[in-house]
Amino acid sequence: MRPTITASCLFAVTVILLPRPTQSKEDANEWWKHAVFYEIYPRSFADSDDDGVGDLKGIESKLPYLRSLGVDAMWIAPCFPSPQVDFGYDVSNYEDIAPIYGTLADFDRLVSRGKQAGLGVILDFVVNHTSDHHPWFLDSRSSPDAQHRDWYVWQDGRSPRQPPNNWVSLFGGSAWMYDAQTAQYYYHYFYPQQPDLNWRNPAVEAAMLDVTRWWYRRGVVGFRLDAVDTIFESSSLTDNPVLSGLNKLGDLIELEKYNRRDPQNHKVLQRLRRVADEFGAVLIGETWTEDIQSLKQYYGDRDDELQLPMNFLFATVNRLSPPAFRAQIAAAQETGKWPVYLLGNHDMVRSYDRYGDRSHDDAIAKLMAVFYLTLRGTPILYYGDEIGMQNNDPKRREDVKDPIGFRGWPKEKGRDGERTPMQWTEAENAGFTQGRPWLPVPPSYRRHNVETESRDPASILSVYRNVIALRRSTPALHDGRYEAINKEDPHVLSYLRISGDDVVMVALNMSSTRRSMRPDFREQGLGPFRLKPLLATQGASATGSTMVLPPFSALIVHVVGNP
């Protein structure tokens, strides 16, 4: 093994920037493999007009920030016209921008400015349902003979005042809503204001595929596909098996055998992919699965479905357990597909709270950053995780904005807590707005904000910036293979990334005790070596071939030949 060329002097979390590794042709088509994605919840990112709700101009004003963070593409949660019952996931017009967020002209400018800054725009495509205010649904419900009647899922009741079957909505109550005008029920897996589209109807499919073309032509580089496991329901309408107990919303707990994960969903993904391929676009999927085999299916048997199905099995390990994480990474590796790692999103309690132990939260946030950003695969960041934003659940029922939080209070507080405004500065409302923010900012913003953390070379934000920069500049982290090492260690999770002669080791101390280790690479056939630190948190260090890892610290080193 030859020594690699890196600069030598190193501070706490300092990195040395090398030129980007050159990309092959194949690489260029698959830019998304080496990209870092960033999810923006547009209501909460930056408010340019001080109405308390974020907007597209706000996002545009933060392009320099996104660039300095080092991300390549932003996935913007739905910003289309919508009654905002589910904060945009109830779309009333797929081909426009909601006035609270701006105009199509603002969108076009965001796309072109983004492009200049090297940042692609990914939109969120809500495929399963529309808003009940969408003109398709308004027509559909107007009469049994309406042109769009069959665009949604209409059924007679089982008997008078009895829904067609026992299916329960994820957001509470029966998944069937009676509509007096035509005396039938329509199906809604989510809120009643989100009627499910009937994808069995070819006209629905044609219209929806056209929506994607419309946006690709406007310069969108891909879509995140919402709720892809709910597109089809069994036409038999068989009752779901009922398990024991009630869920947080007070409903029967069902095995969603007949209304979720229908094999036909894959056909829709294949068709969406064909269109995406015409435009060289990427499809990311909201792919909640029970196991890795079902996740693998979302890539398509012929790699003809999603390029980037999100791995929620990894995202929901929810404890600092090296064996549990090792198993998830190994399973993802064994699929032979390109992994997609994330820690959280707008539907999940913030990773800061899920992994924190209330006394080492910042250290743990840095550890987790080093972790998912150094794995082989594409990472997706959730806005605010890079500054250690904390969940801020509503304290009183009357403050809840997310309807499931009203319904399920106090057991289910809804998703407001993970959707609070981005914390930019130490100023009031964390500099998000001069108005009244639609959700309150937690007091911790005084410490956790972009301005303050940018000044601190050891902050969570600095760790994110430095690891992302290292991913680009270090061939092994950029596209090296993954190899687990010290597989029995219950405290320290460690692995190698290897690209030709470039060998990087990552060590993550997931315990509250100081660990030291002398890694040995005989199994990898490596001769004598020494460890050269590239990035360290919490004072982790390496001398010669020994590493010292304080509690919850992370260390990235080059493994350099020692002739």
Decide which of Mg ion, ligand GLC, none touches 483; Cβ closer than 5 to 8 Å per partner kind: none
* Percent helix / strand / coil, the chain, rounded to 5: 30, 20, 50
Distances (CA, A) of 330 to 248, 291, 479, 485, 503: 33, 13, 17, 12, 19
Interacting residue with ligand GLC among 86, 132, 196, 416 (CB under 6 A): 86
Per-residue binder mask for Mg ion (CB under 5 A), 41-60, x = binder: ------x-x-x-x-x-----
| Shortest distance (Å) from residue 488 CB to ligand GLC | 37
C-beta of residue 414 within 8 angstroms of C-beta of residue 404: yes
C-beta of residue 42 within 8 angstroms of C-beta of residue 428: no
| Shortest distance (Å) from residue 124 CB to ligand GLC | 8
Amino acid occupying residue 294: S
Nearer to ligand GLC, 89 or 167 (CB): 89
Interacting residue with ligand GLC among 76, 122, 126, 197 (CB under 6 A): 126
Nearer to ligand GLC, 334 or 347 (CB): 347
Report how far Cα 300 is from the mean position of its chain's Cα atoms: 20
| Shortest distance (Å) from residue 194 CB to Mg ion | 24
Structure tokens at 550: 């304080």
Active site residue 39: no
Q: Confirm or reject binding of residue 75 to ligand GLC (CB under 6 A).
A: no
Sequence-separated (6 or more) residues with CB below 8 Å from residue 162: none
- Rounded to whole angstroms, the Cα distance separating 551 from 542 reads 15
| Shortest distance (Å) from residue 403 CB to ligand GLC | 10
| Shortest distance (Å) from residue 409 CB to ligand GLC | 18
Q: Confirm or reject binding of residue 61 to Mg ion (CB under 5 A).
A: no
Which value, to the nearest 10 degrees, does the dihedral of the CA atoms of residues 124, 129, 134, 135 take? Answer: 120
Q: Confirm or reject binding of residue 347 to ligand GLC (CB under 6 A).
A: yes
The residue at minimum Cβ distance from Mg ion is 55
- Rounded to whole angstroms, the Cα distance separating 470 from 476 reads 10
C-beta of residue 355 within 8 angstroms of C-beta of residue 316: no
Decide which of Mg ion, ligand GLC, none touches 412; Cβ closer than 5 to 8 Å per partner kind: none
C-beta of residue 44 within 8 angstroms of C-beta of residue 79: no
Q: Confirm or reject binding of residue 190 to ligand GLC (CB under 6 A).
A: yes
| Shortest distance (Å) from residue 507 CB to ligand GLC | 34
Nearer to ligand GLC, 83 or 157 (CB): 83
Identified catalytic residue from 90, 106, 124, 226: 226
Decide which of Mg ion, ligand GLC, none touches 53; Cβ closer than 5 to 8 Å per partner kind: Mg ion
Handedness of CA 268, 273, 278, 282 (dihedral sign): positive
Per-residue binder mask for ligand GLC (CB under 6 A), 312-331, x = binder: --------------------
Q: Confirm or reject binding of residue 229 to ligand GLC (CB under 6 A).
A: no
Region label for 548, one of left (φ > 0), alpha (ψ between -120 and 50) or beta (otherwise): beta
| Shortest distance (Å) from residue 233 CB to Mg ion | 37
Nearer to Mg ion, 47 or 286 (CB): 47
Q: Confirm or reject binding of residue 32 to ligand GLC (CB under 6 A).
A: no
- Rounded to whole angstroms, the Cα distance separating 257 from 261 reads 8
C-beta of residue 533 within 8 angstroms of C-beta of residue 562: no
Applying the rule CB under 5 A, the residues between 534 and 563 that interact with Mg ion are none
Decide which of Mg ion, ligand GLC, none touches 27; Cβ closer than 5 to 8 Å per partner kind: none
Per-residue binder mask for ligand GLC (CB under 6 A), 281-310, x = binder: -----x------------------------
- Rounded to whole angstroms, the Cα distance separating 251 from 213 reads 39
C-beta of residue 251 within 8 angstroms of C-beta of residue 163: no
- Rounded to whole angstroms, the Cα distance separating 335 from 501 reads 26
User: First CA to last CA across the chain, in angstroms?
Assistant: 9
Q: Confirm or reject binding of residue 227 to ligand GLC (CB under 6 A).
A: yes
Nearer to ligand GLC, 383 or 424 (CB): 383
Region label for 192, one of left (φ > 0), alpha (ψ between -120 and 50) or beta (otherwise): alpha
Active site residue 226: yes
Identified catalytic residue from 278, 334, 347, 426: 278
Helices H / strands E in the chain, number of each:
16, 21
C-beta of residue 47 within 8 angstroms of C-beta of residue 53: yes
Decide which of ligand GLC, Mg ion, none touches 89; Cβ closer than 5 to 8 Å per partner kind: ligand GLC
Q: Confirm or reject binding of residue 125 to ligand GLC (CB under 6 A).
A: no
| Shortest distance (Å) from residue 98 CB to Mg ion | 11
Decide which of ligand GLC, Mg ion, none touches 226; Cβ closer than 5 to 8 Å per partner kind: ligand GLC
CA angle 274, 279, 281 (to 5 degrees): 80
C-beta of residue 343 within 8 angstroms of C-beta of residue 372: yes
Structure tokens at 427: 């100023």
Structure tokens at 399: 């403050």
Decide which of Mg ion, ligand GLC, none touches 55; Cβ closer than 5 to 8 Å per partner kind: Mg ion
Report how far Cα 219 is from the mean position of its chain's Cα atoms: 21
Q: Confirm or reject binding of residue 346 to ligand GLC (CB under 6 A).
A: yes
| Shortest distance (Å) from residue 88 CB to ligand GLC | 8
Sequence-separated (6 or more) residues with CB below 8 Å from residue 245: 253
| Shortest distance (Å) from residue 180 CB to Mg ion | 38
Decide which of Mg ion, ligand GLC, none touches 86; Cβ closer than 5 to 8 Å per partner kind: ligand GLC
Decide which of ligand GLC, Mg ion, none touches 510; Cβ closer than 5 to 8 Å per partner kind: none
| Residue with tokens 């009940």, as numbered in its chain | 132
User: What is the chain's Cα-based Rg?
Assistant: 24
Nearer to ligand GLC, 288 or 355 (CB): 288
List of residues contacting Mg ion (CB under 5 A): 47, 49, 51, 53, 55
Q: Which residues are catalytic?
A: 226, 278
List of residues contacting ligand GLC (CB under 6 A): 86, 89, 126, 190, 226-227, 286, 346-347
